[in-house]
Amino acid sequence: MTKIIGLTGGIGSGKTMVANYMKSLGIPVYIADEEAKKIMDTHEVVKLVQNAFGNTVINNNKINREQLAKLVFNNPKQLQKLNAIIHPIVKQNFDNWVKNQVNVPFVVKEAAILFESGGDKYCDSIITVTAPLEIRLERVIQRDKTNQKSVLDRMKNQWPDEKKIENSDYVIHNITMDDTKNQVDNILKILKNQ
């Protein structure tokens, strides 16, 4: 049975960089956010979202992500409603993906909200990527061409690092690229020998 390693971290922690490094080493990595974006473009999901949130979030038979984000980001009930549509479909997509990964000791599921979505329950081990708040803010402001308030608002929808670390098997402190790669290499050695 293929083991599932969860990879998570708050916005700007560098979990995608860690995931891409793992991919470069030949490890199968499933990026949940990327897959969720593809799934949100499917006819089935567009209809479910339209039924749940109305026509204001639909534009040319596609989900208007900006409009939907405005509705859900500062409204926990609406966010919960959206997650109830998306998460089960992403889980099914992930399960199908895992079945296609053969002759590998483990796969990695990278998900920003692994704990918040309950995805941690399906993982054999969990790695959390962290970085100091100032570094995380700087990374996201540069990457998304946004402002500090917007990033802090998005962070409020995620578990704090302390809570993630408490529930994780491994922690990567992502400050410099070389040091982070060394930490990843050490964790992968342990995982391969289990």
Annotated binding site for ATP: which residue ranges? 12-17
The side-by-side arrangement of strands in the sheet containing 29-31 is 29-31, 106-110, 3-9, 125-130, 170-173
- Residue 119 is classified by DSSP as G
Binding-site members are 12-17
The tally of CA atoms less than 13 A away on the side-chain side of residue 30 is 27
- Give the 3-state secondary structure of residue 128: strand
Q: For residue 52, give the DSSP letter.
A: H
